[in-house]
Amino acid sequence: MTYVLHNRLGSGGFAIEAVLELAEIPYRLELIESAPGSHLPDGAAAMNPWRQIPVLECPDGAVVTETAAILFYLAEKHGSLREGPNLYVEDSAAFYRWAVFLSVNVYEGFLRMVYPERYLGAGSADVSALRKAASARIGDAFKLIEDLLSETQFICGDRMSPVDIYCAMLFSWHRKRDEFPRCIALTERVARHPLVAPVWRKNFDHWLDREWADG
């Protein structure tokens, strides 16, 4: 049995698929037919009661959800995520720290923007205030990453790690990019990597800016 990655095009499973490619780990992709930004169909609850993707089914039958947890799990099982030719974790404290940081502050922020009804009390109409605050908070988080990238080329050092792939995906979803030139450069490096570019195009070309992967 091999890994089975459940995703839908344009969604968070991109980061896992790109990492599996870079780490040269065999997997099968199961795509859910659903538009990015919509709710997942009822059947999704069978694999993850929280009804979110990505979901990774492992060869031993384990099921892992939550993007950061999937990255940690794969890094524990496969040296090619930590010390491989395409991915390298120079600083494991940074790896754990920034992967969780991205999950709780950035990914969760996007969910506030996309699914505001989940975060507002019943009857509240202040969707635009919530979206504005979430976008500002996401910007604050990217400012920290931007500052970090003034010292190293990538988030965990001078080599690309799984956390860079995760960050590039999230940054490509952010609309206010001009003040983050280092995050732009990081995203371009990730999107244009020969092993990542086909996955990037497959996921994002139809609804996000094309320029990242076209280089």
Ligand X SMILES: N[C@@H](CCC(=O)N[C@@H](CS)C(=O)NCC(=O)O)C(=O)O
Residues in the chain: 215
Dist CA 159 CA 51 (whole Å): 34
Nearer to ligand X, 39 or 210 (CB): 39
> Which residues are CB-contacts of 142 (< 8 A; sequence separation ≥ 6)?
106, 171, 174, 180, 183
Nearer to ligand X, 12 or 139 (CB): 12
Contact 67, 140 (CB under 8 A): no
Nearer to ligand X, 27 or 107 (CB): 107
Among 88, 92, 78, smallest CA distance to 27 is for 78
Nearer to ligand X, 67 or 161 (CB): 67
CA distances from 189 to 11, 106, 132, 152 (A): 20, 20, 29, 14
CB of 71 to ligand X, least distance (A): 10
CB of 35 to ligand X, least distance (A): 10
- Tell me, what DSSP letter sits at residue 5? E
Q: Tally Cβ neighbours within 10 Å of residue 103.
A: 18
CB of 68 to ligand X, least distance (A): 6
Among 27, 187, 26, 159, smallest CA distance to 84 is for 159
Dist CA 109 CA 142 (whole Å): 12
**Binding-site ranges for ligand X (CB under 6 A):** 11-12, 39-40, 51-54, 66-67, 103, 107, 111
Nearer to ligand X, 51 or 182 (CB): 51
CB of 14 to ligand X, least distance (A): 9
